[in-house]
Structure 1
Amino acid sequence: MNGTRCIIRSCNRNTVEVEIAVGAHTGEIHLVPRIPLQPSDTTFQRRLLPLKGCFAMTINKAQRQTLHSIGLDLQQPVFCHGMLYVALSRSGKRDNVAYLDSPQSSITRNVVYKEML
């Protein structure tokens, strides 16, 4: 189904074995087959895997990188001095930052230790 998040377990010649990561079917293992694709104006045919790759990284790993768009999971407070700043400064534009906030509050606390300043 479109939008299903999976973890790739193995890649074979004509299939990819995936484990569903979220939702009602979490933990189920499925095989995703290659799908034939043939444009209407040619006799040329390709067989494609209907997958779109993505990745995640920690705030520490994102240091010294510039990313086009970022998403932050702020459901738990940022736990170290300056980490919120580092996370927010990875993208050059404010519009390219999306975040998931805690359902309990709309404020994420940035921890700053005055001893370090």
Structure 2
Amino acid sequence: MEILPGAKKEFKSFNKNVDPKDDVKFLEFLNSLNVPGLSDPTLTLKERCPVILLWNIAPPKLCNGTKLVINKMSDNIIETTIITGCGKGEEGLIPEVILTTSDKAPEALKKIQFPLSQAFTISINKSQGQILSVASLHLVEPCFSHGQLYVDYSCVGSRNSLFAYIPNRKTKNVGYSEVL
């Protein structure tokens, strides 16, 4: 992020209880959570920063896992260019979204945020189905699930475009015999 030109902009998620009398009760707790599928409570971005979409906004072009580049940022909407998938090269507008807990939850909570995360790197799961011109693997720990190593290797068209950091030149593709 530091080598990108321009100023950083921080977007803080807005959390509140739907019942105003309980507003203070959970705000600090909610901001401390880092939940899969939700962006961090504070999202720091710059123009030209690569990001990944965490929710389906406008399928099939703006879906969970779509990679984008930031063009312009305002307080309530982010203008992007799609860099993967069927909308590659097209513009995409990412609004703030509102997530509200179900009626069955003990406390009704509301979270307002951009459904984005920085994408300088992505997990093996987010790379599934992607076509990458170059990929790098950081395999200090073995792949934790059967087939994940295959997913990474199959995302790149040429073995000359795949780079792997593997300590001691050994890794393990974990398989579970009880599943097989």
Partner of 2:2: 6
CA distance in structure 2 between the partners assigned to 1:116 and 1:89 by the alignment: 23
CA distance in structure 2 between the partners assigned to 1:75 and 1:6 by the alignment: 25
Residue 6 of structure 1 deviates from its aligned partner by 3.0
Unpaired segments of 5 or more residues in structure 1?
19-53
Partner of 2:155: 90
Give the AA of the match of 1:16: A
Partner of 2:120: 55
Report 1:18-97 matches (<5 A): 55-97=120-162
The DSSP-based 3-state class of the residue aligned with 1:16 is coil
Partner of 2:177: 114
CA distance in structure 1 between the partners assigned to 2:154 and 2:139 by the alignment: 15
Q: Which runs of 4+ in 1 moved over 6 A?
A: none
Deviations 1:31-56 (A, max 9, x none): xxxxxxxxxxxxxxxxxxxxxxx711
Give the AA of the match of 1:65: Q
Partner of 2:86: none
Residue 17 of structure 1 deviates from its aligned partner by 4.3
Residue 7 of structure 1 deviates from its aligned partner by 8.0
Residue 57 of structure 1 deviates from its aligned partner by 0.5
RMSD over aligned CA atoms reads 2.5
The DSSP-based 3-state class of the residue aligned with 2:7 is strand
TM-score, reference length from structure 1: 0.52
CA distance in structure 1 between the partners assigned to 2:177 and 2:129 by the alignment: 24
**Structure 1 residues 114, 7: CA separation in 2 closer, same or farther (over 3 Å shift)?**
farther
Deviations 1:11-35 (A, max 9, x none): 8xxx4249xxxxxxxxxxxxxxxxx
Identity of aligned residues (%): 37
Residue 72 of structure 1 deviates from its aligned partner by 0.5
The DSSP-based 3-state class of the residue aligned with 2:126 is helix
Partner of 2:68: none
Residue 67 of structure 1 deviates from its aligned partner by 0.5
CA distance in structure 2 between the partners assigned to 1:16 and 1:101 by the alignment: 35
**Structure 1 residues 79, 7: CA separation in 2 closer, same or farther (over 3 Å shift)?**
farther
